[in-house]
Structure 1
Amino acid sequence: MTDPIPFRKPAGPRRAMVLAAGIGKRMRPVTATVPKPLIEVAGRSMIDRALDRLARAGVEEAVVNVHYLADLVEVHVRKRKAPKVLVSDERGALLETGGGIAKALPLLGNEPFYVMNSDSFWIEGPRPNLDWLAGGWNDAEMDALLMLAPTVASIGYYGPGDFLMDKEGRLSRRPERTIAPFVYSGAAILSPRIFTDLPEGAFSLNLLFDRAIAARRLFGVRMDGIWLHVGTPEAIREAELSVAESAA
């Protein structure tokens, strides 16, 4: 019997952006005193879970943006040794996902980088999902590669999904009044070149995703394992039960 071919970890990005500046309105009253990134699920804060995954993926530096209860987030992340954390200060104005990354570009360099929401949370499958992303990246064809979760199989998510994906992995938007098979999980690899001709101030990453769709340069990878959407206080308990079941 032939042994299976061993998995070789791909060389992924060495820098990352973790989006941690949101106000967390849907998490109230929990976020009245605790910023959403510092909310604990199964004994560990969500931002530490995101940074832990980036460290395991080989990320050496991660930029974390701060706005709401910024001092608490900044003090927390600066204690980490791996990855090294740089802080992008948005205390003056919340810039949304796209504007926040645009402000941090001088810290991120000229190479493709990971982007993660600070509440990106999943139970891994057989192979780490950030390695799936790194293995799927093709710089010649892509401006962005998104990690996608199955819409109907995700825990705590009850929306209609975000994207359709063709056999080559190229993405298109969900048509109106339909259910799309995939939802964006909050983790991606982006090329800095997607950040051209930007609007001033705050704007959403969705603007850049739509531009990449028009250029046929937005792609996706279906994640392995289970995505946990932790968007409300009730979802915290649901996520903790899923983590406990996966460890049983």
Structure 2
Amino acid sequence: MSTEHFPKRAMILAAGLGKRMRPVTATTPKPLVEVAGRALIDYGLERLEAAGVEEAVVNVHYLADLVEVHLTRRPSPKIVISDERAALLDTGGGIAKALPHLGEQPFFLLNADTFWIEGARPNLIRLAEAWDPDRMDGLLMLAPTVTSVGYDGSGDFDLATDGHIIRRQERLVAPFAYAGAAILAPRMFENAPDGAFSLNTLFDRAISDGRMYGVRMDGLWLHVGTPRAIKDAEAAIAESAA
């Protein structure tokens, strides 16, 4: 399988405080929390490498030194640190700060703690194959809420038959949650706010412009948001292996 035309760069959001994961994150940054004996961020990096990514930009803030030391042990993909020690910039601001490292081409985006059991075909490959720069500014991996492990929210999006995503309305329930993996075009960040801001600001603008799409993931999304969810994820991994 050729990955020649797939994104060669990626951004991993690893700067968050991991408050819901306390007390585990009192001394361990959430990207380094282990599930089945491996740090969460390593699962994502290995999937990026398998999809042909050559360079990954990782932003750091909370317990940043620990994250940096851990990343020096990885031979590939090449890691570039985007330092947010001075000020946490939220998801949108963090990517905006890192754009000079990401270049002018579309890039993969991963939350450092996003985690899933693959289905028949790797999900990052499926995202890259579905990407259409003429129609899209963003393409999100979406997980069905009813089958996800560790997720108890109301969902984020509906998915139209043509692939457009529709934001969940207040007090309603949506069938899909954003699973923390995407492909984004740098043009999405044109005229973005300064400083710290949520990526949802730009998602909503792209939805309004008709340029935001989604792909239903193949496999099982493991939402590792609390200490209890670690055990649930490990049980799902063991069951899948069996």
TM-score scaled by structure 1? 0.96
Q: Could you list the structure 1 runs, at least 4 aligned residues long, displaced by more than 2 angstroms after superposition.
A: 7-11
Structure 1 letter corresponding to 2:166: S
Any residues of structure 2 matched to 1:181-220 within 5 Å, and which? 181-220=175-214
1:157 pairs with 143, 151, 158, which one?
Answer: 151
Give identity over the alignment, percent. 66
Query: CA separation in 2, counterparts of 1:57 and 1:9?
Result: 7
Given the alignment, which residue of 102, 107, 117 partners 2:111?
117
Q: CA deviation at 1:177?
A: 1.7
Q: Distance in 1 between matches of 2:218 and 2:5?
A: 19
Q: What SS is found at the alignment partner of 1:152?
A: coil
Match of 2:41 in 1: 47
Match in the other structure for 1:141:
135
CA distance in structure 2 between the partners assigned to 1:69 and 1:181 by the alignment: 35
Deviation at 1:129, TM superposition (A): 0.2
Counterpart for residue 233 of structure 1: 227
Q: 1:11 matched to which residue of 2?
A: 5
Q: Which amino acid aligns with 1:103?
A: K
Unaligned runs of 5+ in 2: none
Alignment partners' CA distance in 1, 2:75 and 2:105: 22
Kept in 2, the 8 Å contact 1:174–1:180? The answer is yes
Give distance in 2, aligned partners of 1:151 and 1:28. 24
Kept in 2: contact 1:10–1:135 (CA 8 A)? no
Deviation at 1:11, TM superposition (A): 3.1
Whether the 8 Å CA contact 1:163–1:174 is kept in 2: the answer is yes
Conserved 8 A contact 1:10-1:134:
no
Instruction: Look up the SS of the partner of 2:95 in the other structure.
Output: helix
For 2:162, the equivalent position in structure 1 comes to: 168
Give distance in 2, aligned partners of 1:131 and 1:72.
Answer: 30
Aligned mates of 2:170, 2:27 — CA distance in 1: 38
C-alpha displacement of 1:97: 0.5
Provide Cα deviations, 1:60-84, integer angstroms capped at 9, x if missing partner: 0000000000000011112211101
Equivalent pair of 2:3/2:52 in contact (CA under 8 Å): no
Match of 1:131 among 106, 125, 135: 125
- The residue type paired with residue 211 of structure 1 is R
Q: Is the 8 A contact 1:10 1:131 kept in 2?
A: no
Q: Which amino acid in the other structure matches residue 74 of structure 1?
A: E
Aligned pairs (5 A) from 1:8-87? 11-87=5-81
Match of 2:146, SS state, is: helix
In structure 2, distance between residues paired with 1:137 and 1:10: 14
Paired with 1:11 and 1:57, the residues of 2 have a C-alpha distance of 10
Distance change in 2, residues 1:114/1:82 (3 Å): same
- Contact kept? 1:171, 1:219, Cα under 8 Å: yes
SS at match of 1:184: strand
Question: Is this contact kept in 1: 2:90–2:198, CA < 8 A?
Answer: yes
Contact persistence 1:61–1:84 (CA under 8 A): yes
Note closer, same or farther for the CA distance 1:95–1:150 as it changes in structure 2 (3 Å cut). Answer: same
User: What is the aligned counterpart of 1:244 among 232, 238, 242?
Assistant: 238
Please, what is the CA RMSD of the aligned residues? 1.0
2:2 and 2:176 map into 1 onto residues whose CA distance is 27
Q: Distance in 2 between matches of 1:50 and 1:38?
A: 12
Q: CA deviation at 1:200?
A: 1.3
Which residue, out of 60, 81, 103, partners 2:97? 103
